[in-house]
Structure 1
Amino acid sequence: MNTHFKLSSLAACLTLAVAGAQAAGPLFLNNNPANLQPLRWDMSQGPIKVYTDIGAFSRKNDGTVFLSEAQANNITAFSLKQWSSVTTSTWRAETDPAKFTPFSQVPSIGVDVKDGATASLVYGHYNEGGFYVIYDVDGRVLEEFFGVPRDQVLGIAMPEIAEDRDGDGYPETIVKATAVMNGWTVSHESPPPGQRSQPPADVNGTRYAGIFTHEFGHAINLSHSQTNGQLAYFSEPGFGRDLYPGVVGCVAPVHHWLKGPNDSHIDPKNIETMFPFIDPKNVAKGRSPGFEMSTVDRADDIAGISNLYPTADYLSKTGSIAGTLTLKDGRTGFSGINIIARNVKDPLGDAISVMSGDQTQGQIGPDGRFRINNLKAGESYQIYTEEINVGGYPTQPTMLMSQPEYWNEGESNDPRVDTACLAGAIKAEAGVTKTADLIFNGHTDGVQYSFLTAGYLTSLSDDGQRAGGVIGQDTPFVWDAQTGPRLLPQELDLLASALSTMTGDGSQMLVEANFDGQTQWDPDGNPFTLKQMALWNYDSNALTPLGALSNHCDSWGGHISSVGWGMNRKGSAAVGYSTYENADGSCGEFNSQLGTLSVVPYLWTADKGGRPLRLDGLNMDWMPWIRAAGVSADGGVVVGQGNGENAYAWIKEGAPIDLTALTGAYVADLVSNDGLRVPLATERGVLLWNPTLGTGPSAMRSISAPKYCTDFPFPSWDGIDHCKVEGAAWVEANFGVPEQQLNGISDDGRVIIARVGSFFTSIAGFMWVEDLGWLGLNDFFRKQGVVEAERYGMENPIAVNGPGNTLVGGVTGLQMTWHVDMKQVYVCEGGANALVAFPTQAAAKVKAGARLGRCEIN
């Protein structure tokens, strides 16, 4: 007896795209770790039997039938015939509509499937096996059964049930597949005369047929692919949205089939059927991507089905290229990168894509293997790497951790000789598999830029080998160079915006934890436990409470009585904010002079415990909160801010110093370990304040700040490059100095990292180094030859270690963290490259006349 396995609810869905290792890979594997294989239909019993829905497929606005059941059956037959007619594939299905079995003749169904309830008669049941096609006339099946919006998803199909016929406990044979086609999205009304805002009616469903053919590909067990579709739907001139049929900078861009210069439009006929987006509505110059994607005539789609169901002579008649994509070490395989082979003579018309590791889909760990079949014998092909642009894939798409590049005969990791545009051509031979291993480019010396993990790392140990941060908004974790990421106990919290939360030796982290175990209730009656600042020990998992000013007052930021924001490198002093209670036990006012202040700055030291910092003398009007954010090694210098726009300092726990009133500073979060340098962000630039010199002009040193036009661009909402038109002085006069978000400082204060700019203009990552000034991080990486940073760079550096030679950060808004080891950097001295220690030795060399960066890079 064969055992049936219901496959996961992975929905291979096709998404509406409107204006604005093998091709297609397998969708499902048998999950046998000892012998991973794609699921396949058994073709030894003849064509797959087809069952179709009854009732209309699409209706007009007035409720009359637009596409009938018979018309829908004709589209089904047409699309199945496309896949069944591939000469190098053995897959076949019934393609005669007269031989389709309507649902009314299937005893276990027997009705028109039109909503979630009737869909449950099809899904989850073997019924009679075969392929079941639902005509969802108004999108209710999609919305009620699958929970997806009918105006965004055009169809969903998948192999649904598979059998274990060889008795190994894993299913390998598909016995039932289903497809639901969204008739609600069919263009059924023609626009009024002279009006072009609406596409013409799809009278016979010829444009919508592309969705049928695509979804039926999933039922065959084909995944998505990305070969030309990304060019056709997402490449638009300007705004950084140009896409290329090759490596960026090596070939000219090709644009959206409707947009861009006419001579750069891609012809819709070149879009592969299994690309995950489609435009079934629009027609231009008689061409429709909806129709073009309904035909299986692209090399990529033909390779996809032929790889799963090859004829006996398929591989002997065509050529193949196989290899492995590895990191720059040449050993570690890397999954999830798109690899495309393009015919040198016909790069758009003859192209096939694969994903590295698509035959194992991450089930055996990193796998960089790929294989490209169906290459025309006698033709020459170039292969290159790119990221998956968008869409769902069973092999997890990954970020390109290097520069995109072509394969060449001298493939290596050295970007000086293996340049991105250096391309080799491989001549395909019938029945022969050529080898082409790809290695990510990147230097193994000098600055090392490495992707670490998904999440925000916000603090670093002094040696740069351990970092702490958060996943999501407050789930703390630690990354360790030897053991990788580790989640802290789930009952602990850490705010994503908190800085300096790890000790210099990496042994402890500043977190929030509950110690009394008592349950409280919020105003809605929901239970919670109140948390407070604590130190968590990496090795022992032990917690040390850092106290709070109240054991029952709940902060506006959550069920927390005290929050840690920063601490010194030894963990002997920590700062943040705390709730408090009045003499009568109520929560809120610290004293009658402070209005409705909800939380107050809080200092904890190992010798004295926790206490509030003074607030006397401050103007507390409209000041709902003040927090302490940074503390020196001895706890004597504390800085912080209030209400997100005022900066304060406390020296030896004395009266607060209003740094905003003194300097115009709008933030003070950082202090050097010795307390001698406090960077202050102001509207005129960054000041370095030495608290030991008082608060007069002699205590303040300007270190300027990056500027628009000269240090990074100023893209304007009006589309005008004002840097070119009016000049840098005009931009500064009208828009000022870019905002500085100062995120980290080295122990000696000689290195400061910052995110500069705003979401309304542009954002860039910078690093200030004593004697070197402000360095744009992306320019610094470029001059150091860090090709891995070309694609993403670092616009949001978040933390720097004590010595100032390692930092972590990423891209604003993305929970992705890169690790930058700068312990040694290159300077060009006397025309020769020299590796020197950073930052002190590098700064001294530059001061003596050397240039920061490799000599061969301008």
Structure 2
Amino acid sequence: MRCRGLSTLAAVLLLAGGVPARAAGPLLVNGNGDPLVWGVNPIPFNPDRGTLGTLDNAAAVQAVLDDFGVWAAVPTANISFTNAGALPVDVTVANYLSYLGVCGDGLSPIIFDTDGSITDDAFGPGASNDILGFASPECGSFVPPQIAEGVAVLNGKWIDGVDSPSNPEIPLADFKGVFVHEFGHYVNLDHSQINLVEGFDDDPSNDDAVATMFPFLATGTSTPHLDDQVAVSTLYPAASFASGFGTITGTIFRADGVTPFQGAYVIARQVGDPRLTAVGYASGARYFPSNTGGPPAPALRGLYEIPGLPAGSYTVEIEPVSHFFTDGSSVGPLDPPAALPGLPEFYNGANEAGTNPPDDPTQSVSLVVTAGATLGGINVVINGFPPAADDCSAATVISTVPFTAGFDASAATSVASDPLQSCTFGGPNQNGHSAWFTFTAPADMTLRADTTGSGYDTVLTADTGSCGALTEIACNDDSSGLQSSLTFALGAGQTVVLEVASYNAGASDVLLFHLAPVLP
């Protein structure tokens, strides 16, 4: 993906009369586990009367029509849209609260925030430099689970013809992806993190693998990925959706094999075409016991459901929802996302267990999917956390970024050759219970490492050189509570050695370690 400043595509939940819910599937779900859907077809919208950046009103309204049409053209979905008439006025920062979040007026506004001032007023000064648009169902009910009105706000500052640090710009062709993304939220689609590596690798040549509903803008995502098509077809299915495609369902369990786990990202990938024929879903996406209309069936807590799969052989895998995806960019039912209580892993058939052996998390069993049929009981038992690499010379090798994984650091030790960490509160200290990682950059890049979500007070350093002769290039003690984060640059082929230690040799526990590129 190549994007400007991690440009955010946001879902802001405004539904009246209930508690908002998020899921990698539907945005809003009632307490019984039923997603909200529009009760009419075609779905109405009311476009603004103003301009949108360099687009005059006629061009902006035509873009709205065209890009709602992208969802209507999904062959497995039964959904259409209609222009129900322009809003009464040109909506500006002076009057937008008369239309945004207002229920019962019969309007579903598509607001043209031509200069970003509405976005800044809604989210704070400077927000318009990060947020490209936001949208959601606006009004409706949880019982019955229906949407009555929706809203979308499109930030025209990004297409106003001015490109500067305080006024970022993207091509009109990329902004089309903003329209399509926000209109996905308008019909109750959540974000997706399908193909997370391609989403963060700053390489536009592989963005065909990134979903339209990815939380950040990628090049060319105005054409829905299979994952997007399945998401909209699940809520608004055509007859062919159930009869022409297969489904995989199951439950994600913790290592005890009994306790359901909510918030794992589950992906079915077709053998032979794993990038493009891939669909994701968050476990427990329909489990919201505090929402109106419940209580939900307990089995929903760890349940995943992946329909819309073309016939063929598939693997199933789980990964954590990225900790970058929070607030308006959240993915899945929990915000912030839950830490996966073990390593990412594949479904391994009869060997599924909470330990390795017998369940090697890198081994997969292929599943044959047939049209019109459901493969049920494809349950994944999460392997418990492996021990953290306790020796610099046997560090955990990170092969690709972004990388997120958990480790048991409770048995980690220290040796006399462990280096001092210069940023330690109170002065340089060797600290204790060191855990080690290495990464070699395939190209020039800037990276961010952090220990967000770990269960103890960490100190984090980045070093170059070899074990026993390391040179510190970055260090952080407490950046967020007791956890650490730091940013550093590497040249192509350069290796970094990362040490996580327990502050002042205090007790260590679960270590959650994240390493990701910082995009330009």
Query: How does the TM-score come out when normalised to structure 2?
Result: 0.69
Could you tell me which amino acid in structure 2 is paired with residue 6 of structure 1? A
Could you tell me which amino acid in structure 1 is paired with residue 465 of structure 2? C
SS at match of 1:70: helix
The partner residue of 1:161 within 121, 139, 162 is 139
- Distance 1:345-1:111 versus aligned 2 partners, 3 A rule: same
The whole-number CA distance in structure 2 between the counterparts of 1:811 and 1:120 is 41
- Which residue is 1:75 aligned to? 63
The partner residue of 1:145 within 118, 122, 139 is 122
Q: CA deviation at 1:723?
A: 3.4
Q: CA deviation at 1:199?
A: 9.3
1:535-565 Cα offsets, whole Å, 9 max, x none, are xxxxxxxxxxxxxxxxxxxxxxxxxxxxxxx
Contact map agreement 2:159 2:169 (CA 8 A) in 1: no
2:247 is equivalent to residue 314 of structure 1: no
- Which residue is 1:393 aligned to? 331
Query: Gaps spanning 5+ residues in structure 1: where?
Result: 13-20, 59-65, 104-109, 165-169, 192-197, 236-255, 259-265, 280-288, 445-459, 461-643, 646-665, 667-681, 687-704, 742-754, 766-794, 801-806, 814-858
The partner residue of 2:313 within 380, 383, 393 is 380
SS at match of 1:67: coil
Could you tell me which amino acid in structure 2 is paired with residue 438 of structure 1? V
After TM superposition, which residue ranges in structure 1, 4 or more long, deviate above 6 angstroms? Answer: 8-12, 198-201, 713-716, 718-721, 738-741, 758-761
Q: CA deviation at 1:295?
A: 2.0
The partner residue of 2:86 within 102, 105, 111 is 102
Q: CA deviation at 1:48?
A: 1.6
Contact map agreement 1:138 1:183 (CA 8 A) in 2: yes
Aligned residues: 413
The partner residue of 1:135 within 100, 109, 112 is 112
2:213 is equivalent to residue 274 of structure 1: yes
- Which residue is 1:257 aligned to? 203
Q: CA deviation at 1:172?
A: 1.5
2:499 is equivalent to residue 763 of structure 1: yes
Q: CA deviation at 1:393?
A: 3.1
1:167-197 Cα offsets, whole Å, 9 max, x none, are xxx3521110000000011262589xxxxxx
Could you tell me which amino acid in structure 2 is paired with residue 318 of structure 1? F
The whole-number CA distance in structure 2 between the counterparts of 1:212 and 1:713 is 41
The whole-number CA distance in structure 2 between the counterparts of 1:158 and 1:362 is 21
Q: What RMSD over aligned residues (CA atoms) do the two structures have, in Å?
A: 4.1
The partner residue of 2:380 within 417, 433, 438 is 438
- Distance 1:353-1:399 versus aligned 2 partners, 3 A rule: same
1:691-714 Cα offsets, whole Å, 9 max, x none, are xxxxxxxxxxxxxx999xxx9579
- Distance 1:810-1:344 versus aligned 2 partners, 3 A rule: closer
The partner residue of 1:56 within 51, 58, 63 is 51
The whole-number CA distance in structure 1 between the counterparts of 2:477 and 2:227 is 48
SS at match of 1:295: coil
- Distance 1:222-1:713 versus aligned 2 partners, 3 A rule: closer
SS at match of 1:233: helix
2:101 is equivalent to residue 124 of structure 1: yes
SS at match of 2:275: coil
The whole-number CA distance in structure 1 between the counterparts of 2:100 and 2:239 is 35
1:512-549 Cα offsets, whole Å, 9 max, x none, are xxxxxxxxxxxxxxxxxxxxxxxxxxxxxxxxxxxxxx
Q: CA deviation at 1:380?
A: 0.8
- Distance 1:82-1:713 versus aligned 2 partners, 3 A rule: closer
Could you tell me which amino acid in structure 2 is paired with residue 257 of structure 1? D
Higher relative contact order (CA 8 A, sep 6+): 2
Q: CA deviation at 1:207?
A: 1.7
The whole-number CA distance in structure 2 between the counterparts of 1:227 and 1:276 is 11
Could you tell me which amino acid in structure 2 is paired with residue 174 of structure 1? I
- Distance 1:796-1:10 versus aligned 2 partners, 3 A rule: farther
- Which residue is 1:496 aligned to? none
Contact map agreement 2:260 2:301 (CA 8 A) in 1: yes
- Distance 1:326-1:809 versus aligned 2 partners, 3 A rule: closer
The partner residue of 2:223 within 276, 281, 295 is 295
- Which has the greater radius of gyration? 1
1:587-631 Cα offsets, whole Å, 9 max, x none, are xxxxxxxxxxxxxxxxxxxxxxxxxxxxxxxxxxxxxxxxxxxxx
Query: Gaps spanning 5+ residues in structure 2: where?
Result: 1-13, 291-295, 387-409, 411-424, 446-461, 489-496, 515-520
The partner residue of 1:36 within 33, 36, 40 is 33
The whole-number CA distance in structure 1 between the counterparts of 2:363 and 2:119 is 48
Could you tell me which amino acid in structure 2 is paired with residue 145 of structure 1? A
Q: CA deviation at 1:362?
A: 6.2
Contact map agreement 1:799 1:808 (CA 8 A) in 2: no
1:77-102 Cα offsets, whole Å, 9 max, x none, are 111101112222222112xxxx5511
Q: CA deviation at 1:232?
A: 2.8
Could you tell me which amino acid in structure 2 is paired with residue 221 of structure 1? N
Contact map agreement 2:346 2:361 (CA 8 A) in 1: yes
Contact map agreement 1:156 1:180 (CA 8 A) in 2: yes
Contact map agreement 1:155 1:179 (CA 8 A) in 2: yes
- Distance 1:331-1:73 versus aligned 2 partners, 3 A rule: same
- Which residue is 2:406 aligned to? none
Could you tell me which amino acid in structure 2 is paired with residue 78 of structure 1? D
The whole-number CA distance in structure 2 between the counterparts of 1:714 and 1:161 is 49
- Give matches, 1:376-775, under 5 Å: 376-377=310-311, 379-389=312-322, 390-391=324-325, 392-393=330-331, 395-396=333-334, 397-410=337-350, 411-435=352-376, 436-442=378-384, 723-724=465-466, 728=468, 731=470, 762-765=498-501
- Distance 1:162-1:221 versus aligned 2 partners, 3 A rule: same
2:16 is equivalent to residue 6 of structure 1: yes
Query: How does the TM-score come out when normalised to structure 1?
Result: 0.43
Identity of aligned residues (%): 28
